[in-house]
Structure 1
Amino acid sequence: MLHHAIEHITGSLNGYLRGVFDLPQDVAVMSGILDQDGSIEAQIHNKLVVSLVNIEKEQVPAAFIRQGSKETGLTNIGFPPIHLNAYVLVSAYFPGSNYAEALKFISYAALFFQGNPVFTRENSPELNGDIEKLVMDIENLNLRDLSSLWSVISGRYLPSIVYKMRIITIDSRGIGKQVTSLSGVDSSAGQSHR
């Protein structure tokens, strides 16, 4: 599901940039910056790079979901969906004398997400069916955090913006367990209990 979310925002950003600059090809790619051997990824040359840099669980109170059946006398106990925040780095790799292009494209990426901070099925019909909504917020990093991030990624700073992309819901839609109905509990209520 994360790949669908990041593919979607990368594709949407490409559509915007192609329209603004009348580009014949995509300028944003979903990629890491370095290959496993430490060399720069070949496909990011003169591109905006959209990368996942962290995942965190949204702090929502945990609860079991119980649904009972009068016919079988069994109660299905499942688990609630997981809400994730994904930290997405949008960086501009325009080496050498193309630094001004890096600043231009990172600026337009910021303009795009400022004007399109929320992706839903209503405004993005091509959004994957498992994703209800994506919300893009700029994550402010101080210089120490920024330095740590780039040390982990490549050691070489690029013009960039970090976005907190929330909320991605992951729901297995499975039943964790079936148990016999508990006495004194209305198992047909289908309510969430702690």
Structure 2
Amino acid sequence: MDAIRNVLELVARGAETYLQNANSRHDPWLTLSAPLNTDGSVNEAARDRVVMCVYNLTRETTISTQAAAQPGAGGSGSYYQAAPPLYINIHLMCMANFGGAAYTAGLGVLSQVISYFQQNPTVNHATAPDLDPSIEKVSLELASLNSSELNHVMGLFGGRYFPAVFYKLRLIRFAATAMQAIVPPARGGGIAEQGRMA
């Protein structure tokens, strides 16, 4: 399962289609990429585009992840237990990577990105048929970073500041189906069973 990549590519594709419909151009308006290369140099392919990138992944703690016993196959009466599911939030940055004379144009494109996500806050199988089958839906929530958090995030990308908007994408579910243990059926201790034990 390649859930993170699948979801982010669908989100980026939807935003890019919206931007092209608003103001068509040969080059993309938005790219799912890092603003810097791994050696710290500027990613030239991301210049004069809105850069969508992941700046953090966090575990969702408001959902119970207790592993429940699942019924075994064939009506054997036994149950099996798998690892509890893990729910992940993806923290996204959309940065207007436009400099010089194109700076104001970048502000306009960033405004359109905000408008798109305001109109399309969820991704599901109805709006995105290519969504990973293991994911029912994901939602995008606008995130507000204080000055300290903003400085920290920008420091991750070389300390260069460009106007940016931040979103929390909820939730990506990871659930393994591999069996970890067999759980025997519970014995009730009712009258009939006590009679058999006498």
Q: TM-score range with shorter-chain normalisation?
A: 0.7 to 0.9
After TM superposition, the score normalised by the length of structure 1 is 0.88
- Match of residue 118, structure 2, among 101, 114, 122: 114
Alignment check: 8 A CA contact 1:17 1:23 kept: no
Give CA deviations for 1:51-91 in whole Å, capped at 9, x if unaligned: 01111111122311212347545320113322211100001
Percent sequence identity over aligned pairs: 24
* Structure 2 residue aligned with 1:188: none
Distance in 2 (CA, whole Å) between partners of 1:40 and 1:184 is: 67
Q: Does 1:151 align with 2:155?
A: yes
Alignment check: 8 A CA contact 1:18 1:24 kept: no
Higher radius of gyration, 1 or 2: 2
* Structure 1 residue aligned with 2:37: 35
SS at match of 1:164: strand
Alignment check: 8 A CA contact 1:68 1:181 kept: no
Distance in 2 (CA, whole Å) between partners of 1:63 and 1:184 is: 23
> Could you tell me how far 1:3 is from its partner in structure 2?
1.1
- Higher mean alpha-carbon deviation, 17-26 vs 81-90, is at 17-26
Task: Write out aligned runs for 1:27-176 (5 A).
Answer: 27-59=29-61, 60-69=63-72, 71-72=75-76, 74-176=78-180
> Could you tell me how far 1:99 is from its partner in structure 2?
0.5
After TM superposition, the score normalised by the length of structure 2 is 0.86
- Note the residue ranges of structure 2 that are not aligned, 5 or more in a row: 190-198
- Note the residue ranges of structure 1 that are not aligned, 5 or more in a row: 186-194
CA RMSD between the two structures: 1.8
> Could you tell me how far 1:149 is from its partner in structure 2?
1.0
